[in-house]
Amino acid sequence: MTVSREDVLGVLAGISLPGGGDPVGQDLIRALTVDGGTVRFVIEAASPDDARALGPVQAEAEARLRRLPGVDSVQVVLTAHGPAPKAAPPSLKIGQHPTPQHGGPQRISGIDRIVAIASGKGGVGKSTVASNLAVALARQGRRVGLLDADIYGPSQPKMMGVSRRPASPDGKIIEPLVAHGVTMMSIGLMLKENEAVVWRGPMIMGALQQLLGQVAWGRLDILIIDLRPAPAISS
């Protein structure tokens, strides 16, 4: 017996949705194809939350269609039409006064080497060098971290193609992002959109101290730091 699109839609129309109605009547079925005994289609929800609620509907649709005469296999994909909501900003406050380091500078646990990329002025390719160097080393098999320490003009999120806010579940430790095999963090990912930075002196040092010491960098062969432009200091 050969199964048809109408047979499949008839089965799907008999499934009840959590909020009432059925997948066919609510126009949730996309890309339905019937190829011999193989049935493929997409259930498209309005949002990620709705998609999660439709998990039992997906399972029921697969089970019912497999019992339909002439159906050998069923392939159903559950997806969401709308984008996932943006993650809430971490509860960790960035830009506090630095904590005194007794006994002088301390090594960062788990990081073997640190390389700082600096320049006397902006717009000369400092951030480009830092991101390309990080990706190149990662492709060689090194465990690489990239810290965007340019407080006033963070550009590494755009360079590395990331925009998601990092998480800080406990308000103490920041979970970094990973892009192109590089573990990265930028002050630009921690600020609210269109928020101006008006920090001075101690607050800048405190922010850098947090990004170095409170980020879960893990074990790194090298951490590359993209510093903000600053003129050289002559003695």
Burial 150-163 (b: 16+ CB within 10 A, else e): bbeebbbbebbebe
Reply yes or no on domain 5-80 having CATH 3.60.21.10. no
| Domain limits, the chain | 5-80, 111-227
User: What number of H helices and E strands is found in the chain?
Assistant: 7, 8
Q: Global pTM?
A: 0.53
Average pLDDT, the chain: 81
Task: Give every strand in the sheet of 220-227, ordered side by side.
Answer: 111-117, 220-227, 144-149, 182-186, 177-179
Task: Give every strand in the sheet of 73-80, ordered side by side.
Answer: 29-35, 38-45, 73-80
What's residue 159's pLDDT? 87
Distances (CA, A) of 120 to 74, 129, 145: 62, 15, 23
Q: What would the two tokens of residue 193 be?
A: 């959109």
Q: May I ask the CATH architecture of the domain 111-227?
A: 3-Layer(aba) Sandwich (3.40)
User: What are the tens digits of pLDDT across the range 20-63?
Assistant: 899 999 889 988 999 888 999 999 888 878 888 898 999 999 99
What's residue 105's pLDDT? 62
Residues of the chain predicted below pLDDT 50: 88-91, 233-235
